[in-house]
Amino acid sequence: MVLQDREKKLEVQPNWLQAYISSSEKQQQLYKRTLVVVVLSQIFGGAGLAAGITVGALLAQDMLGSDSITGLPTALFTLGSAGAALLVGRLSQRFGRRFGLTTGFLAGGIGAIGVVMAALTNSILLLFTSLLIYGAGTATNLQARYAGTDLASSTQRAKAVSMAMVSTTFGAVAGPNLVGVMGEFAQSVGIPALAGPFILAAAAYILAGLVFFILLRPDPFIVAKAISDYQSTTSKVEKNSNLITTNRRGILAGAAVMVLTQFVMIAVMTMTPIHMGHHGHALKEVGLVIGFHIAAMFLPSLVTGYLVDKIGRAFMAIASAVTLLASGILAAMGPADSMTVLITALALLGLGWNFGLISGTAILVDSTPPSTRARTQGSVDVGIALAGALGGGFSGLVVAHYSYPALSIAGAGLSLLVIPIVIWGGINRKNKVCQ
């Protein structure tokens, strides 16, 4: 009866959807078109997420007059991104990527506007509330990477993720380096300088949402689900090695890699601007260091995606741990007044995160069928966001009670947990995870 019900549903599929189900050529055309749309939206989305990373802690420090909870802004917008990740995942599962991603980006833009209003009125409550909503943009920017994988083959998935991430670089690197310009613009219209980057964030997130709303047609996730339903009703299902089934061990391994690398990266990154401020670095220098950090988070993605697909998920996840270890040691041991040391340490921090996110994402996509994929991805991204919230929240306490070098060493040690997780995952040379 279940099989008959599925067949009946397939018979009533609209003609345009049946055309994609029956044509691998049309599927590849839509896959490539989706990548173009994702790339365009991520350019705007990258500029939006950079504002909170660069000046969120500094804005809170200015409004609160204290260092001990300057990690709270990062904790708030990453906590907000956790709730948004769950919502965007559920909306995408039910209505498609277009609706879910559009909603998330527009919410992030509204949150950024709220931050500007909070700075104008010097309202701490409005600031914290707006940062929670602003986190929706961060979550959506991250979840957009999944859109390119919906119609990708097993040898294209990491590359699809990397295309989304590398395009984020253009906006994400420009954002921190426009801190000074946006600050001057904000002051010229009577807004505090540190709120200036959030004006850019509001415009960027809203534009990213409009790109998805207008251009992501047909929806790749809806097409992928229809193809999966069709394959599950054919007599060749058992012989079809490309049919993806739920692999809980793979889901846990991929999620753990991404959660750990996110926690370490957010914790160290959050307190770097405060650390630099204590050692006399100007706001433009902070923007430069964070710019290099974000470039390293996203720019190497094309190479990383190729390596993850060709060399393997496990190898690149372990490379993530080693790179984060090197970053933590350098940040802790190097002279705090050296821009070269700070740029190198933060670039390695971003690169280690990049390795972990792309390899972990590929493992997760390998392990989930379209029937549950977006919902599972949203749930995993909740964990990633919560890890970021914890990292941002604890980082200020650690630095206030101990030091920035202590925070960096702790992050380096935690990153090594990725290695036993990968070994437990049992990912073989063909990038499959043992059941």
Higher-confidence residue: 214 or 18? 214
Under DSSP, the state recorded for 174 is H
d(CA 20, CA 24): 7
Q: Is the pLDDT of residue 108 over 70?
A: yes
Q: How far apart are CA 113 and CA 102, in angstroms?
A: 17
**Which among 154, 164, 430, 158 is positioned nearest to 308, based on CA atoms?**
158
Residue 190, in any domain of the structure: yes
CA dist., res. 51 & res. 55, Å (int): 6
Q: Which two tokens stand for residue 410?
A: 């702790």
Report if residue 2 sits inside a domain: no
Look at residue 60 and tell me whether its pLDDT is greater than 90.
no
Q: How many domains does one find in the chain?
A: 1
Q: Which of 342, 341, 375, 330 is nearest to 274 (CA)?
A: 342
Span 41-70, average pLDDT: 74
At 85 the pLDDT is 85
Continuous segment of H or E residues that includes residue 32: helix 24-64
In a domain, 9, yes or no: no
Q: Is residue 11 part of a domain?
A: no
User: pLDDT value at position 242?
Assistant: 47
- Check which CATH number belongs to the domain holding 343 and give it: 1.20.1250.20
| 390 occurs within a structural domain | yes
pLDDT confidence of residue 103: 96
Residue 360 within any structural domain of the chain: yes
Average confidence (pLDDT) over 153-173 = 78
Q: How many CB atoms neighbour CB 325 within 10 A?
A: 21
C-beta atoms surrounding 89 within 10 Å: 25
pTM as predicted: 0.75
Return the percentage of the chain with pLDDT > 90, whole number.
26
Q: Does residue 56 fall inside a structural domain?
A: yes
Q: Is residue 54 part of a domain?
A: yes
Q: Which domain holds residue 340?
A: 25-234+243-425
